[in-house]
Structure 1
Amino acid sequence: MSTSDHAPTHLPVVTALGDLDADTLQPLTDELQAAAATASGVILDVSGVTFGDSSFINLLLRTHQHTDLRVTGLGPPLDRLFRLVGVDAVLHIFPTITDAQSVGQ
């Protein structure tokens, strides 16, 4: 996982990688909390996520409640999961980081 700033909105971008479940989620949780504490929102790039379970979905929903969470890079495995549990209707999902950055311009 890594965090960086991108123009034009200057929202921090957090990149999630690999399998995300209750045993591996803490570093992402910490990074999202740190990024949200310093900005009005966070862009989460999930293009490198190979698996996510209910604890991952729970983290996204909690983060969404506390900041402007923008999710990008949703691939087939997560897209299916998001649709099955209905979070695709709740979260702000964008095809690319650039698209997520351009909102609110």
Structure 2
Amino acid sequence: HMPWDDAAATELLSGPGSEPSTGGAAEEARPQDVVLRYEYRGAQVVVARGDYDLHSLGPLADALKAATDTHPKVILDASGVTFADSSFLNLMILVHRTGKLRVAAPSAPVRRLCAITGVDDVLQIRDTLSDAVAVER
């Protein structure tokens, strides 16, 4: 368990740059290389799609860090996650420690990972985006 600081986060955050893609680059990219972020009822929603492991986590980690730096409430839409390992789990816990994270509509692989590891008792997990936004705290 590590606090969020640049030294500890370096390994999680190392990955492809967080610059948004322009032109036709998005077509060739894997889904997780382009992380969608948008505003929803005062919260910042970060959409996770595809497979996540230590090598593909960089853009998602960058997006979550940027969202927590600028918004009081951050929602991870995990409905499109097709595979997630311990590095994805560690990232969710790291961001959860900011006190801002809610996880919305986790896919079956994410639900399984959270149940097996017991973090479903720790993380704020809701079935829908609107439920996640409504969570106080």
| Mapping of residues 24-35 of structure 1, within 5 Å | 24-35=56-67
Could you say what secondary structure the match of 1:56 adopts?
helix
Q: Which amino acid letter does the alignment assign opposite residue 22 of structure 1?
A: L
Cα deviation 1:61-96 (Å, max 9, x = unaligned)? 000011310001112221111100111010000111
Larger radius of gyration, structure 1 or 2? Answer: 2
Greater strand share, 1 or 2? 1
2:39 corresponding residue in structure 1: 5
Higher relative contact order structure (alpha carbons within 8 Å, sequence separation ≥ 6): 1
Q: Which one of the candidate residues 14, 18, 22 is aligned to 2:46?
A: 14
Could you say what secondary structure the match of 1:77 adopts?
helix
> Which deviates more, 47-56 or 59-68?
59-68
Could you say what secondary structure the match of 1:23 adopts?
coil
Conserved in 2, the CA contact under 8 Å of 1:42 and 1:67? no
Percent identity for Structure 1 against Structure 2: 45
TM-score by length of 2: 0.72
> Which deviates more, 60-69 or 43-52?
60-69
Q: CA RMSD in A?
A: 1.3
Q: Which one of the candidate residues 28, 41, 45 is aligned to 2:73?
A: 41
2:135 corresponding residue in structure 1: 103
Q: Which amino acid letter does the alignment assign opposite residue 56 of structure 1?
A: F
Q: Are 1:58 and 2:90 matched, yes or no?
A: yes
Conserved in 2, the CA contact under 8 Å of 1:71 and 1:93? yes
Q: Which amino acid letter does the alignment assign opposite residue 3 of structure 1?
A: R
TM-score by length of 1: 0.93
Conserved in 2, the CA contact under 8 Å of 1:43 and 1:72? yes
- Point out where structure 2 has 5 or more consecutive residues left out of the alignment: 1-34
